[in-house]
Structure formats: structure tokens, C-alpha cells
Amino acid sequence: MSKFDSSDAEQLQQVEDWQQEELDHRRARFQANPDRGLFWQEVQSRVRGGHKALG
């Protein structure tokens, strides 16, 4: 039997109210300004290259 069962998965899917509010806020900010985001590869490159301004 796996150490990770369906009850574990259900617990991982639960989100606190404050977390859902933050996710909703971030989604709305992204939808209002979709061109302001960065591709994950660009984030990784900037982190590996040192701390440079993201904006």
C-alpha cells in the first residue's frame, strides 16, 4: 500500500480562506496585466545571474 493515499490528496487540496483570497488577488492582477508576467525560464535565469530588478 502506498504511503500517500486519497485522504492525503484531499488534505493537500484544502486551501485556507486567506490563501484563496491571495490566489484570487494574484489571478485578478495577472488578468488585468497579462504582459507584466515573466516566463519561468526568465525568472530562473535572473536568479542564477544575481539579483537584478524584475520590473
Cα 31 from Cα 23, distance rounded (Å): 12
CA atoms of 3 and 14, how far apart (whole Å): 19
pLDDT tens-place values along the chain, 55 residues long: 456 666 666 667 788 999 999 999 999 999 999 999 889 999 999 999 876 555 5
Kindly tell me the burial class for residue 3, based on how many C-beta atoms sit within 10 Å of its own C-beta (0-12, 13-18, 19 or more): exposed
Give the pLDDT confidence score for residue 12 in this predicted structure: 72
pLDDT (0 to 100) of residue 52: 58
CA–CA separation, 36 vs 48, rounded Å?
21
pLDDT the model gives residue 51:
62
pLDDT of residue 20: 94
pTM of the model: 0.51
Cell numbers that stand for 19 in this block: 490563501
